[in-house]
Amino acid sequence: MEDKKLTMYHLYKEMLNNYMQSKSEHTLYSAQQFSKEMLEKDMSPEEVVSLHKSVITELVNDPSGELLDSFDLLLEVMIGYGLAHREHLSLRDRQRQLDSELNVAARMQQSLLPNNKIEVEAVDFGVKSVPAGKMSGDYYHYFVDEHGNIGAAVADVIGKGVPAAMCMSMIKYAMDSLPEQRLQPAALLENLNRVVARNIDDDMFITMVYGSYDSKKHQFHFASAGHEPCLYYSADTDDFHELKTKGLVLGVSSKVRYEEYVRDLNPGDFIVLLSDGVTECRINGEFIEMKHIKQIIRKYKHLSAQQMVDQVYSELEKIQEFQLRDDFTLLILRRNV
């Protein structure tokens, strides 16, 4: 400690002496480098003032007493800056700690999502979900039953970050507790809505679309709780249709009925489930148009469903200059044969 101070003292003295003789930019540059060393050695502003005062007292033959006294006042003023600096360091440490806690939470959240591959001959399936921050308020789910029928869902908690993510995990556990309704979209939403209404604050809302694909009849059944409409792509006409639905968002009232809809799929047709992070992409401050999203999807339709969602994401990411404002989830289910 004392050695360190002594070295700093000598270095500073030499530098100040040089400067007073040469007034050179070179010495000022050394001073700038020196300040980094002082920060590294944890020297506070008041210590710097005190150092300056003692060095100048030694260097100048007859320093004016008034001038020297002025440094005492400066030193007193600098105490506050020193405290602010220390507080800043400690807040920075706390931020790092919070960051690492969030990373753990984000990994846990990731583990709530399904990660098995869907291997059903009749269907090509792909999903891409990216949070805007570390944690996501989007949720997706899929599963295959023993007959090759598929259930798939996308949900979006209104809001972002940690509160939305906590809400999302509740949806996951609620879905797990309702296995028997997995292939009945309307019934599933009705049950889920009851759980959500009981368990979340009045100011939180969740939208969700749930669909099930019948691999024998090639029908897509779906119901929606105030979610973004799904898109249906017809290979025959090379056209997209928005699948309009009615249904209140989850959690508003515990008694809500949901209507179930059905759409026949021909080979090559596909269904797109998405969250508002996709439709509310912003390009130069303006929301992207649905037409534009459809164009992008169409551009990659020759690829597999997984490649499609990946490509659509990278293109939307690029046009938004890599700044995601909302959690992004895109899911595609295509009839193969």
Partner 1 sequence: MQVHTHVEITSEWGIVAARQAGRKLAREVGFGSVDQARITTAISELARNIYLYANKGQIKIEELADAGKRGIKITAVDNGPGIKDVRRVMEDGFTTSGGLGAGLPGVKRLMDEFIIDSELNNGTKISAIKWLR
Kindly list the residues in this chain that would bind partner 1 in the complex (CB under 8 A): 1, 46-47, 50, 53, 72, 75-76, 79-80, 83-84, 86-87, 90-91, 94
Cβ proximity to partner 1, 75 vs 223, nearer residue? 75
Cβ proximity to partner 1, 28 vs 89, nearer residue? 89
Name residue, tokens 């508003």.
252
Minimum distance of partner 1 from residue 106's CB (angstroms): 24
The residues near 181 (Cβ < 8 Å, ≥ 6 apart) are: 187, 188, 191
Minimum distance of partner 1 from residue 95's CB (angstroms): 11
Paired tokens of 138? 């989007």
Paired tokens of 55? 């060095």
Cβ proximity to partner 1, 83 vs 283, nearer residue? 83
DSSP state of 188: H
Minimum distance of partner 1 from residue 127's CB (angstroms): 40
The residues near 113 (Cβ < 8 Å, ≥ 6 apart) are: 129, 139, 140, 141
DSSP letters for 209-247: EEEEEETTTTEEEEEEESPPPEEEEETTTTEEEEE----
Cβ proximity to partner 1, 47 vs 315, nearer residue? 47
Number of CB atoms found within 10 A of residue 174's CB: 19
Minimum distance of partner 1 from residue 100's CB (angstroms): 18
Minimum distance of partner 1 from residue 120's CB (angstroms): 54
Cβ proximity to partner 1, 6 vs 83, nearer residue? 83
Minimum distance of partner 1 from residue 8's CB (angstroms): 13
Cβ proximity to partner 1, 90 vs 323, nearer residue? 90
User: How far apart are the C-alpha atoms of 316 and 311, rounded to whole Å?
Assistant: 9
Minimum distance of partner 1 from residue 34's CB (angstroms): 19
Cβ proximity to partner 1, 1 vs 104, nearer residue? 1
Say how far residue 162 (Cα) sits from the centre of its chain. Answer: 10
The C-alpha angle with vertex 177 and arms to 172 and 179, in degrees rounded to 5, equals 100
Q: What single letter denotes the amino acid at residue 249?
A: V
- Whole-angstrom CA distances from 40 to 26, 68, 83 are 22, 27, 16
DSSP state of 116: P
Which residues are registered as beta bridge partners of 242?
A: 231
Name residue, tokens 């339709």.
301
